[in-house]
Amino acid sequence: MSLRTAALLITGGEGYGVGRSWRTIAAALPGRGFRPLALSVGDGALVDALRDEGTEVLSRGRRAGLLKGGVAGKLARLPLIAMDQVPHLLWVVRRLREARAEALFTSAPDLVPLAAVAGRIVGVKSFWLMANDVSSGYPLDLNRRVYAAAIGLGLRPIANSRWTLGTLGKAARSGAVVHRGVPPLADSPEGEAITVRAEVGAEPGDAVFAICARLTPDKGQDVFIQALERARPGLDGVRLLIVGGPLDTPFARRLAESAAASGGRIRLLGPRDDVPAILAASDVPVNSRLGGEPFGLSVIEGLRAGRPVLAHRLGGPGETVRDGETGWLVNSPTVEAFEGGVRRALADRPRWSAMGEAARRDFAARFTDEAMMDALGRETGLW
């Protein structure tokens, strides 16, 4: 039986959690009767990754302009950006018709109007997989007005958390929530985890915390370092692994200085391909994002590893971590609050194994790729 076609409208440069979600969806679509066809308005790492994994990708090679700068700059650029979208629109419409696509998905906010108009012209269902909260920094609430107009054309927002959907404002009433998922691990990483612990000098009795995220100030690695150092006096064997990049920024260099001054307690490991092994080598994965975390795929990967997770409550973690059962939630992203979270986690050390098993069960029941695709099918009506 031939597969129907679902088009994925991407920028091509999506990375980290958003990129991983696109790859998971593309890999899972054939099992739901759909052939994924990626339509990329630019080139980048996601284009290469999807092609390597067998997804057909058509790339136009040039991303449309974005609204940047201050209020006056954004207003002045708006007509130019609208005109810049026209060639992209014609290209997307043509590709949708050629492929006889039955659905169109996008996640990039600047591609939402394009997806809505193209879907309306071709007559296919269009969906916005909201991966991030809606910014309040646009003049006259311009972005929410644009999104509301797109929704009025038939595009449906499907957010990764209730918190993300709520930032859409009144238009959220037409949307839905589908928590993102990841595939279960094919092989246990525990053997690799032993190698990682040896690499970082962790002894069997050490308590290892780990943050896997981009090295940017909003991810809060520096705040968590301060919290850990405040909690550490009198506690032996408390370590922190920081995984991610880029490493060539002032922020990353400050983290490197903190790691160098720690005497080996803090290790800045840079970007890694063995994140499952890193999480398995840790005792407590951490999400230290300072603002609201739209979802937090690293949290789900921590649960998958069978580890209790420490996270700032605001956003997705407040929906995915059960406080005191599958991890610990802190109510504010401050040094003091994270210090309290670290102390709670260390006090619960006798329960880590039981909490990890509860985390693994939650992952299997709620956050696998199959669970995500089941929910996406219900909300879209496509399968």
DSSP category for residue 58: E
Q: Are 296 and 375 found together in one domain? A: no
Nearest Cα residue to 265 out of 212, 206, 216: 206
DSSP assignment string, 245-304 = ---SSHHHHHHHHHHHHTTTSEEEEES-S-HHHHHHH-SEEEE--SS-BS--HHHHHHHH
Q: Are 177 and 195 found together in one domain? A: no
Q: Are 15 and 56 found together in one domain? A: yes
CATH code of the domain covering residue 81: 3.40.50.2000
User: What is the domain count for the chain?
Assistant: 2
Q: Which residues contact 337 (CB under 8 A, 6 or more apart)?
A: 227, 312, 330, 331
Q: Are 246 and 149 found together in one domain? A: no
Q: What is the predicted pLDDT for the residue at 379?
A: 97
pLDDT tens digits, one per residue of 145-190 = 999 999 999 999 999 999 999 999 999 999 999 999 999 998 888 8
Average pLDDT, the chain: 93
* Residue ranges for the chain with pLDDT beneath 70: 1, 62-84, 234
Question: What are the beta bridge partners of residue 159?
Answer: 130, 177
Q: Are 273 and 372 found together in one domain? A: no
Q: Are 123 and 217 found together in one domain? A: no
Q: What is the predicted pLDDT for the residue at 234?
A: 67
Which residues span the domain enclosing 176? 4-183+368-380
Q: Are 131 and 260 found together in one domain? A: no
Q: Are 21 and 148 found together in one domain? A: yes
Q: What is the predicted pLDDT for the residue at 143?
A: 86
Question: What are the beta bridge partners of residue 130?
Answer: 159
Token pair, residue 105, equals 């998905």
pTM over 0.85: yes
State the Rg of the chain over Cα.
Answer: 22
Q: Are 348 and 210 found together in one domain? A: yes
Query: What distance in Å separates the CA atoms of residue 367 and residue 180, rounded to the nearest whole number?
Result: 7
Query: What distance in Å separates the CA atoms of residue 303 and residue 136, rounded to the nearest whole number?
Result: 32
Taking the CA of residue 315 as centre, how many other CA atoms within 13 Å lie in the half-sphere pointing to its CB? 24
Q: Are 121 and 63 found together in one domain? A: yes
pLDDT tens digits, one per residue of 187-202 = 888 899 999 999 999 9
Q: Are 137 and 248 found together in one domain? A: no
Nearest Cα residue to 92 out of 61, 114, 124, 110: 114
Cβ(188)–Cβ(372) below 8 Å:
no
Q: Are 165 and 133 found together in one domain? A: yes
